[in-house]
């Protein structure tokens, strides 16, 4: 297992360093903590892939899992509500997929387009996994997630820290749904002891 962890960390840092010129550009638009979030996501993705390929399982204590998810959530809150140079937003979009179409039109910097689309999906994957770990069915998980994301969107709009965009809600929910779908694959390599009643639904 130590060899697997070492290999995963080395691959993760190599990927991060190779793409660091691109990642650093995100700091112009987002809080610097985005670099930590990106590194965190790369490490976990690479670790899962290496474990899956080597057919190994890692035991992750529930307190550590919950603590990691809490810190991850704090980092996301900072990304959502704290912008460089006190950037202010107060726009609203209630037309489904209009923002997605705008990002795909080529009228926006490719990095901004890619980050907004990929991050709105990928960064919410862990919550789909968490809700499945907590025994919620996919549909109940999506219902709970819808309420939480809607609250975040409204808070961003009211505080002028983000726009109220139906596409954000759609993409975030897609990320959570994918987390629910990928739960069985993650469960194959990640074992969380002291978590009662893991399900296979």
Establish if 6 belongs to a structural domain.
yes
Establish if 105 belongs to a structural domain.
yes
Residue 196 has which token pair? 């009662």
Establish if 101 belongs to a structural domain.
yes
Tally of CB atoms within 10 A around 25: 14
DSSP 108: S
Establish if 197 belongs to a structural domain.
no
Average pLDDT, the chain: 86
Residue 84 structural domain = 2-191
User: What is the tens place of the pLDDT at every residue in 35-44?
Assistant: 999 999 999 9
Q: What is the largest CA-CA distance in the chain?
A: 50
Question: 3-state DSSP call for residue 160?
Answer: coil
Establish if 140 belongs to a structural domain.
yes
**Average pLDDT, integer, range 75-99:** 79
CA 40/CA 29 separation, integer angstroms: 19
CA 77/CA 151 separation, integer angstroms: 13
DSSP annotation string for 12-34: HHHHHHHTHHHHHHGGGTS-TTH
Establish if 70 belongs to a structural domain.
yes
17 Cβ neighbours under 8 A, 6+ residues apart:
none
**pLDDT for residue 192 is more than 60:** yes
Establish if 175 belongs to a structural domain.
yes
In total, how many domains does the chain have? 1
Establish if 146 belongs to a structural domain.
yes
User: What is the tens place of the pLDDT at every residue in 117-154?
Assistant: 999 999 999 999 888 888 887 788 788 888 988 888 88
pLDDT at 56: 92
Contact 177, 124 (CB under 8 A): no
**pLDDT for residue 196 is more than 80:** no
**Average pLDDT, integer, range 174-195:** 86
């Amino acid at each position: 297992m130590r060899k697997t962890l070492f290999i995963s960390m080395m691959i993760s840092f190599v990927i991060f360093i190779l793409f660091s010129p691109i990642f650093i550009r995100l700091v112009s638009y987002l809080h610097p903590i985005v670099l930590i979030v990106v590194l965190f996501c790369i490490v976990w993705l690479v670790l899962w892939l290496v474990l899956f390929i080597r057919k190994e399982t890692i035991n992750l204590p529930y307190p550590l899992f919950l603590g990691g998810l809490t810190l991850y959530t704090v980092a996301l809150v900072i990304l959502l509500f704290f912008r460089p140079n006190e950037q202010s937003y107060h726009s609203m979009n209630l037309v489904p997929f209009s923002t997605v179409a705008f990002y795909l039109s080529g009228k926006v910097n490719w990095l901004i387009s890619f980050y907004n689309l990929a991050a709105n999906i990928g960064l919410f994957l862990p919550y789909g996994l968490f809700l499945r770990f907590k025994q919620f069915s996919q549909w109940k998980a999506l219902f709970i997630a819808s309420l939480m994301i809607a609250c975040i969107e409204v808070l961003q709009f009211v505080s002028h820290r983000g726009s109220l965009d139906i596409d954000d809600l759609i993409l975030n929910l897609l990320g959570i749904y994918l987390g629910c779908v990928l739960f069985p694959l993650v469960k194959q390599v990640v074992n969380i002891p002291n978590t009662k009643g893991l399900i296979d639904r």
